Amino acid sequence: MDIATHPASLYWLPPVDDFDGALARLRDAPGEGGAILGGLRSLAEKRLDFVQTRRLDRLVEKLTDRLPTEAPHLKLAVIGSSTVDHLVPGIRVGALRRGLVAEVLVCPYGQWRQQVLDPGSELYGFAPDAVLLSLEAAAIMPELPLNATTAEVAAAVDQVVNDLAELWATLRDRAHAVAIQQTPWSGETTPLYGHYERLVPASPGAVADCLDRRIAEMAAEKGALLLDLRAAAADIGNRQISDRMLWYHAKQALSPAAAPWAGDQVARILAAIRGLSKKVLVLDLDNTLWGGVIGDDGLDGIVLGQGSGTGEAFSAFQRYVKRLAARGVVLAVSSKNDRVNAEAAFAQHPEMILRQDDFAAFEIGWGDKPAAVRRIAEQLELGLDSFVFVDDNPVERDLMRRTLPQVAVPELPEAPELFPACIADAGYFEAIAFTAEDSARNAQYVANRARHELRATATDMNAFLETLETTLTVGPFQPTDVTRITQLINKTNQFNLTTRRYTEAEVRAFMQDPRTLTFAARVSDRFGDNGLTSVVICRPSKEGSGPDMEIDTWLMSCRVLGRGVEDAMLSVVAARVREAGAERLLGRYRPTAKNGMVRELFPRLGFEPRTRNPESGETSWILPLAHAANPAPRHLNVVHMR
């Protein structure tokens, strides 16, 4: 959209010629009444910018006493939760453009509720004809956990809207004024889930939409008016990616200029379907999570929180990062700092929103950051291609791109105000589901850090495993777990014997097929619940003779590797398959670029070699079931649900 047709430019009005001269002639013109009003209105009907609008408004104020008393007048009070004084000239000049003389009162900042409820307030002393409630989303949007239900969101939003309706009624009864409710406006609703945002009832975007809809419904019911700036702004955005000329002449809804962007929006959903969305957000500290350098500026010198606009912007970024963690993004730190200084910032700074225990890995030191990110990947047992590295320093970003090209590195804007939008716009963490395991994932990885620390201090591996007090609970697929199971099937790459991908519908079909045996396992220990971490699907074999079953899919989260979980899973699977009448259990390993860690799994678990494809490297294995498989490791408490 060209600036010439941008709605904010008032492009439909004719341009102004010699504004300064016209303003001077009005200022010096003799007389009063209709001639003065007509001259002012004539200039207001031109296309004026912000400064010209302010200058014309000042002249209108100066000439108020010379305006005709019979001209239409209206008194507007503006109450808001943000600074609105700069909007007043636009309101008065806009009214003048329509032949209306508007008198505007701006009530004290942030005092919107008190002004309405106090009968002796400045608002009622002004005796307005109309009251504009200009409230930003942060002032009224309910705070809800991301896993809140639709009913809980609806109840919280209804409470907010009912409260607004009472304010409208109070204004009507006490001031006999029309309430004009502005739809909540804020940049604090940066998406957390990408295109999945509105499918999560408690996501910021979904709550904002719900609030908008309920405000409109209540306004219609109670007779309040709506200033729908959110819809108007969305329309401006629509025009930036569409071209009406191309629609009428080529039926292109999106302009060619927007095609790369639109294509990227589609591609990020496709990538999420195949489990290629990023999982880990690695953050620098200085000038990324706070302003300044903690080592130089000290705890009191870093910029964060209330008291400065920049500090508030860094706080907003921290809030956004914390919300990403709450939806399942794993957080890590890579910073060149002295550890004691960095830890002090998290532990002692009163405005710090993130805490050290929000991070699953904490790499602080003076070595190079690519090496630090490698160590984080090893610690989390996740591939580097699931990482996003965020750093304000362009040199560090360039080094990361050159050294670890698998890691996504956004070109972070210099202004911290733009950090959340940059991460959201890139679509790294696009989602196609949100489960209870997702909301607990970062906490699970944080608990894994404690396990690693315990393991590092243990001198005996068996004693360490005994100390964990691990319980493995295995049972058939349950309807409540289908989303999580599908998610694991499409995201797990390393411990995945066949890397077969299935849709949610296909998973449900397996559950309904009496010939198919399904197994889903949960792992918990003294540090917490790791959630649903392993999936096995067994189907009647199409090869060989006799009643054999084949492991179609076997995958496991790397979070529980090295604890004998795979041994215990096989003991449960083999027992169940034998109960079903099978005589042999077939296993298959299909090599990929990422599943090398399970190449020797079948022979290690006692399977005998069967076939090998020299071209693809695919191998098949067989386990006779005449005898019971090896028992589960002694340190595991195995619970087999039927």
| Per-residue pLDDT tens digits for 67-123 | 888 889 999 999 988 888 999 999 999 999 999 999 999 998 888 899 999 999 999
pLDDT in tens, 471-489: 999 999 999 889 889 988 9
**Which residue has 């045996």 as its token pair?**
517
Q: How many residues does the chain have?
A: 642
Q: Got the DSSP string for 122-181?
A: HHHHH--SEEEEE-BHHHHPPP--TT--HHHHHHHHHHHHHHHHHHHHHHHHHH--EEEE
Question: Looking at residues 619-624, what average pLDDT do you find?
Answer: 93
pLDDT reported for residue 229 = 85
Residues 6+ away with beta carbon under 8 Å from 119: 174
pLDDT reported for residue 188 = 63
pLDDT reported for residue 637 = 87
pLDDT reported for residue 608 = 93
Single-letter code of the amino acid located at 442: N
Give the separation between CA 612 and CA 1, rounded to whole angstroms: 60
pTM score of the predicted model:
0.78
How sure is the predictor about 273, in pLDDT bands with cuts at 50, 70 and 90?
confident
Check pLDDT > 80 for residue 196: yes
Is 496:598 a contact under the CB 8 Å cutoff? yes
Closest by alpha carbon to 143, among 151, 153, 158, 135?
153
Distances in Å between the Cα of 416 and the Cα atoms of 138, 187, 203, 317 are: 19, 13, 22, 7
Kindly state the helix (H) or strand (E) to which residue 495 belongs, with its residue range. Answer: none
Is 527:586 a contact under the CB 8 Å cutoff? no
pLDDT reported for residue 118 = 93
Give the separation between CA 607 and CA 623, rounded to whole angstroms: 5
- Percent of the chain at pLDDT > 70 equals 96
* Chain mean pLDDT for the chain: 89
Check pLDDT > 80 for residue 220: yes
pLDDT in tens, 306-341: 888 999 999 999 999 999 999 999 999 999 999 999
pLDDT reported for residue 451 = 74
Give the separation between CA 139 and CA 606, rounded to whole angstroms: 63
Is 499:483 a contact under the CB 8 Å cutoff? no
pLDDT reported for residue 186 = 65
Question: Looking at residues 49-63, what average pLDDT do you find?
Answer: 94
pLDDT reported for residue 542 = 77
pLDDT reported for residue 4 = 56
HSE-up of residue 533 (Cα within 13 Å, Cβ side) = 23
How sure is the predictor about 2, in pLDDT bands with cuts at 50, 70 and 90?
low
Give the separation between CA 294 and CA 255, rounded to whole angstroms: 47
**β partners of residue 333:** 283, 362
pLDDT reported for residue 448 = 76
Instruction: Tell whether the torsion through CA atoms of 337, 343, 349 and 351 is positive or negative.
Output: positive
Through-space distance between the first and last CA atoms of the chain, rounded to whole angstroms: 61
pLDDT in tens, 411-446: 999 999 999 999 999 999 999 888 888 888 888 888
Question: Looking at residues 239-268, what average pLDDT do you find?
Answer: 84
pLDDT reported for residue 632 = 77
Question: Looking at residues 555-566, what average pLDDT do you find?
Answer: 84
